[in-house]
Amino acid sequence: MKIMSINAGSSSLKFSLFDMDKEEVLASGLFERIGIDQSNYVIKYNGTKIKQEIDLPDHSVAVSLLLEKLVELGIIRSLSEIDGVGHRIVSGGDYYKESVLITDKVIQDLIDLKDFAPLHNPAHVLGINSFKKVLPNTPMVAVFDTAFHQTMDEVSYLYPVPYSWYEDYKVRKYGAHGTSHRYIALTLQKELKRDDLRIISCHLGNGGSITAIKDGKCIDTSMGFTPLAGIMMGTRSGDIDPSIIPFVMEKEGKNASEVIDDLNKRSGFLGLSRYSSDARDIVNGVLEGKENCILAEQKFIRTVVSYIANYYVLLGGCDVLCFTAGIGENSVPFRMKIVEKLACLGFKLDIEANQAVGGFKKISADDSKSLIYVLPTNEELMIARDTLEIINR
Ligand code: AMP
């Protein structure tokens, strides 16, 4: 069966088409700058890559073109070969604890949840409606970034604020990157042939989150009401004292949204280093002795290590510490410096194995108290698997 996995953003549409019999990617690509100038697309298939600049006034045009190209390039013979379409959804609030078949009611819920993901949920709805137009009879499934974290108990998900904020406005921790953390948990359980693992999953990319997982279920996670909370990130601050916000508003004559924008877009690596949001640049800056990069690197490591230590205690130990996403999968020095700081908890790297970049690999030393793995995340495959499973029910 062939399943399409879709991630629709406000001006972009990312896709992967899977042959689910072998869980193989038949084609993948990105439609970018939808609704603005210089819109273009890239499609990769069969070792070939095509790229074209073309007018994409809206998501429907992008979706029609994508499907047209899949047939034209011989990737599928006809649109009826697509058995289902899975959509990545950033926020399912506390309505959705797992993936669901998309109905009109689900679409309305996504619209109602827009306050929790103002940039993302409306874009997902655009993506869904565009596919509905071209493939009206093909089942579609919504896969939520928040769903995996719905197993947190209220001690984890409630903030110590007036309870009415939760009752009246649903102010609570929702978390993010849930599809990635779920993929990590399932893959480790399968590879290590154990369901009862205590896992600390470190998704360290441009956005980053750390999740404590026990018996395959999320116990706690570092992102919060929004993806601004938790560890320091590429351009996001992570946890800060909220009193800073009105203080800076007054000092700089900004409104709350403008300060939140600073915390989302001009903080993290970028804010502290005043150099770059990209971890590779920070690593290079450190090698060149740039003091601001050294500071940014140390702060990032400190926040990551604090969350790992916190979850180590919460889980009563750790069977597997796992690194994933851009930094987690690729950065040898970041993994090394993080694990060095965890020596007092018995974590120890195999320095040679840690040179690994890409691929699933054990990187802990034989005398490490916990196993340490690198595991490339695969949210697209997780979305396709859920879609297949739900349409086959
Ligand atoms: P992601 O959001 O998962 O695509 O990850 C993006 C982040 O991964 C950026 O900060 C990149 O600098 C970082 N990254 C990718 N490759 C490397 C690498 N080889 N070393 C350090 N960071 C990397």
Distance CA 364, CA 267 (A): 32
**pLDDT tens figures, 44-88:** 999 999 999 999 999 999 999 999 999 999 999 999 999 999 999
Q: How large is the average pLDDT for residues 265-285?
A: 97
Please indicate, yes or no, whether residues 227 and 299 belong to a single structural domain of this protein: yes
Three-state DSSP class for 374?
strand
Residue to probe by mutation, ligand 1, list 202, 209, 287, 331, most atoms within 8 Å of CB: 331
Distance 142 CA to ligand 1 centre (A): 27
User: Do 101 and 222 reside in the same domain of the chain?
Assistant: no
Asked whether residue 211 falls in the same domain as residue 136, the answer is no
| Ligand 1 atom nearest residue 277's Cα | 10
- 106 & 252 share domain: no
Q: Which domain holds residue 51?
A: 2-144
Which one from 19, 109, 145, 261 is the annotated catalytic residue? 145
Q: Model confidence over 166-184: pLDDT tens digits?
A: 999 999 999 999 999 999 9
**pLDDT bracket for residue 370 (50, 70, 90):** very high
Q: Which amino acid is at 206?
A: N
Is-catalytic flag, 37?
no
CA of 326 to the centre of ligand 1 (A): 4
pLDDT greater than 90 at residue 357? no
Map residue 89 onto helix, strand or coil.
Answer: strand
Q: Give a yes or no: residue 388 inside a domain.
A: no
In a domain, 106, yes or no: yes
Q: Quote the number of domains for the chain.
A: 2
Residue position matching structure tokens 């706690």: 220
pLDDT 10s digits, 334-348: 999 999 999 999 999
Say how far apart CA 104 and CA 363 lie, in whole Å: 46
Residue 137 included in any domain: yes
For ligand 1, which residues put their CB under 6 angstroms from it? 205-206, 234, 278-280, 283, 325-327, 330-331
| Atom 20 of ligand 1, nearest CA residue | 331
Task: Answer with the one of 109, 144, 179 that is the final residue of a domain.
Answer: 144
Quote the DSSP letter at residue 149.
Answer: G
The pTM is what? 0.96
Instruction: Label residue 356 by pLDDT band (50, 70, 90).
Output: confident
130 and 15 in a single domain? The answer is: yes
Q: How far is the CA of 328 from the centre of ligand 1 (A)?
A: 8
Residue 336 belongs to some domain of the structure? yes
CA-CA distance, 159 to 162, in Å (whole number)?
Answer: 9
Q: What's the confidence (pLDDT) of residue 26?
A: 98
**What is the atom index within ligand 1 of the atom nearest the CA of 377?**
3
Does 198 lie in the same domain as 139? no
**Is there a contact between 21 and 392 (Cβ–Cβ < 8 Å)?**
no
330, 334, 336, 380: residue to mutate for ligand 1 pocket, most atoms within 8 A of CB = 330
Q: How far is the CA of 329 from the centre of ligand 1 (A)?
A: 8
Residue to substitute in 280, 332, 354 for testing ligand 1 pocket (most ligand atoms within 8 angstroms of CB): 280
Show Cβ contacts of residue 42 under 8 Å, excluding neighbours closer than 6 positions: 29, 30, 32, 49, 50, 51
Gap from CA of 269 to ligand 1 centroid (Å) = 12
- Phi/psi of residue 148, nearest 5 degrees: -60, -30
Same-domain pairing of 218 and 135: no
226, 356: one domain:
yes
Q: Whole-angstrom Cα distance, residue 49 to residue 324?
A: 26
Instruction: Answer whether residue 150 shows pLDDT above 80.
Output: yes
- Which of ligand 1's atoms lies nearest the C-alpha of 334? 21
Question: pLDDT at residue 15 above 90?
Answer: yes
Is 179 among the domain residues?
Answer: no
Q: Are residues 216 and 316 in the same domain?
A: yes
Residue 356 lies in a domain: yes
Residue 221 and residue 336 share a domain = yes
For ligand 1, what atom is nearest to the CA of residue 269? 10
The last residue of a domain, from among 128, 144, 160: 144
266 vs 89: CA distance, rounded Å: 25
| Most informative mutation of 327, 338, 378 for ligand 1 (most atoms within 8 A of CB) | 327
Tokens for 43, please give them: 């499609």
Kindly report the protein residue whose alpha carbon is nearest to atom 23 of ligand 1: 327
The reply to whether 385 falls in a domain is: no
Å from CA of 21 to ligand 1 middle: 31
**Is there a domain that residue 390 lies in?**
no
> Distance, CA 279 to ligand 1 centroid (Å)?
6
Same domain, 125 and 198: no
**φ, ψ for residue 295 (rounded to 5)?**
-60, -45
Ligand 1 atom with the shortest distance to the CA of 357: 19
Q: What rounded mean pLDDT belongs to the chain?
A: 97
| Residue 311: CATH number of its domain | 3.30.420.40
Q: What is the pLDDT of residues 93-146, one digit of tens each?
A: 999 999 999 999 999 999 999 888 888 999 999 999 999 999 999 999 999 999
Read off the amino acid at residue 223.
M
Q: How much is the pLDDT for 301?
A: 98
Same domain, 126 and 200: no
